[in-house]
């Protein structure tokens, strides 16, 4: 099964920057949460059959609806182009409840955010929250040029309202951003966050390690995965709760084997970025291929994303 969905109406579409639109979706039953959980995202099921996950970009105003800010990406698989070209105010889409794999460490002495392009979106509710609780923050926002920088007035206002600093960086006028040098200059107890293209995230992860920032202070979220799913197969799955044993064949993911055997399990992105299919591992060694778990969590092997990860042991016992 995919995750439960509910209908939400598009109540506003606003221009956030060149080729970037903000969509506000209000649940048809009016049930909006009291607060936006900073860093959370929703899955949007488009009328053309595509499913895409988007971070909530809500600032202080969240009673209007869930805000998703989406860049038109010519190299995308078509979701953003569809959103930009086909969606209209008044349309109803099926969306999931918000889910959070990118949580804010609210008590950090200092929070530093690195956004690449549209990766700025989850940071708006995060810095809004830090303002609410009076915590300091800094946002480095890197875009190709000024025209492609979204929600800048809002971020400027957030910096004025709280103890925040907004540092915009445009490649065309400022050259390449020195991500590693900036990380190295931070106090070691800072919490650091990155959301952006894969190359930026890879540089962020290695730069944080070189800077000596503890891994539990390093937070990141990928847009998409460039890691191949494990489809080598050739191992047995034991489902602890039902006692069922399933063989995962070569060419199959664990999720595909489970679905083939009629096992009801939540899933969404099927590429290891949304966290919907996280499953507890009771015995065996997972072959992690996801972008959700931290290196430490992967080493511990207590949970795994069954949509893309496989097994390094001949037998894997799952809490299903």
Q: Is 257 in the site for ligand FES (CB under 6 A)?
A: no
* Burial (CB count within 10 angstroms: exposed 0-12, middle 13-18, buried 19+), residue 77: exposed
User: What character string, x for contact with ligand FES (CB under 6 A) and - otherwise, covers 291-310?
Assistant: -x------------x-x---
Other Cβ atoms closer than 10 A to 148: 17
Count of beta carbons in the 10 Å neighbourhood of residue 243? 7
Select the span of 137-145, 178-186, 206-214, 261-269 touching ligand FES (CB under 6 A).
Answer: 261-269
Q: Which is nearer to ligand FES, 221 or 270 (CB)?
A: 270
62 vs 99 by CB, closer to ligand FES: 99
Q: Which of 102, 105, 101 is nearest to 275 (CA)?
A: 101
Q: Does 277 bind ligand FES (CB under 6 A)?
A: yes
128, 139, 267, 316: which one binds ligand FES (CB under 6 A)? 267
**Residue 320 found at the interface with ligand FES (CB under 6 A):** no
286 binds ligand FES (CB under 6 A): no
Q: Is 221 in the site for ligand FES (CB under 6 A)?
A: no
Is residue 38 close enough to count as binding ligand FES by CB under 6 A? Answer: no
Q: How far is the CB of 256 from ligand FES (least distance, A)?
A: 12
Choose the binding region for ligand FES from 64-72, 87-95, 178-186, 265-273 (rule: CB under 6 A). Answer: 265-273
CB closer to ligand FES out of 57 and 303: 303
State the residues that interact with ligand FES by CB under 6 A: 267-270, 272-277, 290, 292, 305, 307
């Amino acid at each position: 099964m995919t995750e439960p969905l509910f209908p939400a109406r598009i109540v506003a579409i606003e221009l956030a920057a060149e080729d970037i639109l903000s969509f506000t979706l209000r649940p048809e039953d009016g049930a909006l949460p009291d607060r936006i959980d900073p860093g959370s995202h929703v899955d949007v099921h488009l009328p053309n059959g595509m499913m895409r996950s988007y971070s909530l970009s809500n600032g202080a105003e969240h009673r209007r609806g869930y805000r998703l800010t989406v860049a038109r990406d010519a190299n995308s698989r078509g979701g953003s182009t569809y959103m930009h070209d086909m969606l209209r105010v008044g349309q109803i889409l099926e969306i999931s409840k918000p889910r959070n794999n990118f949580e804010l460490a609210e008590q950090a002495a200092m929070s530093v955010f690195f956004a690449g392009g549209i990766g700025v979106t989850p940071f708006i509710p995060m810095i809004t929250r830090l303002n609410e609780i009076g915590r300091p923050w800094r946002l480095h926002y890197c875009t190709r040029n000024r025209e492609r920088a979204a929600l800048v007035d809002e971020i400027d206002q957030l910096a004025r309202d709280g103890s925040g600093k907004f540092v915009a960086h445009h490649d065309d006028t400022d050259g390449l951003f020195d991500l590693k040098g900036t990380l190295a200059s931070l106090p070691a107890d800072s919490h650091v966050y990155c959301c952006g293209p894969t190359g930026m995230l890879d540089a962020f992860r290695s730069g944080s390690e070189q800077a000596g920032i503890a891994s539990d202070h390093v937070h990141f979220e990928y847009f998409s995965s460039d890691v191949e799913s494990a489809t080598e197969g050739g191992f047995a799955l034991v489902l602890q709760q039902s006692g069922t044993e399933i063989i995962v064949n070569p060419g199959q993911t664990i999720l595909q084997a489970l679905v083939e055997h009629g096992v009801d399990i939540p899933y969404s992105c099927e590429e290891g970025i949304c966290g919907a299919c996280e499953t507890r591992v009771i015995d065996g060694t997972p072959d992690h291929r996801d972008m959700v778990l931290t290196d430490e969590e992967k080493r511990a092997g207590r949970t795994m994303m069954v949509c893309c990860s496989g097994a390094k042991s001949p037998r894997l016992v799952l809490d299903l």
